Amino acid sequence: MGKGNRPRKARGACRVTTGTPPFDSRPLRAKVGVKEKTALLVHSEIYQFPYTRTEGMQRTYSVTVNLARRDSGVFAYEAWVHYAGIFKGNGLVFPLAAQTREQAAAEARARIEDQIEHLLGVVE
């Protein structure tokens, strides 16, 4: 048998052990020393309302808005738009400039209504 026909030795083979897992259970960010900068939600409220477009097919959409105030004091929202039980989009989500919860709710509603009207992040 020639030299080229011999079975090769496995290089870099891993040895499997039992007992503790062979991985570090810490999150990846903790492994590399990166501090995670996430804003925790202090309190959130959910609003639901219908909105009818004035252009296009003039459908009435069911809108659900989750309004939250973060630790930093900035209000943020997430919206879900449905028509006939079918998800149509979230709109575009940006932090709000309002200082109070009532102002933030009004600003979030105005923004999502404008986005539905102009089909920004929402499909008809």
Q: Which residue has the higher pLDDT, 41 or 90?
A: 90
| CA atoms of 124 and 122, how far apart (whole Å) | 7
4 DSSP 8-state letter = G
Q: What is the pLDDT of residues 5-64, one digit of tens each?
A: 655 554 444 343 333 334 344 444 444 444 444 545 467 899 999 999 999 999 999 999
Global pTM reads 0.64
Residues 6+ apart with CB under 8 A from 66: 44, 45, 46, 77, 78, 79
| CA atoms of 14 and 23, how far apart (whole Å) | 13
Residue 49: both structure tokens together: 């309302």
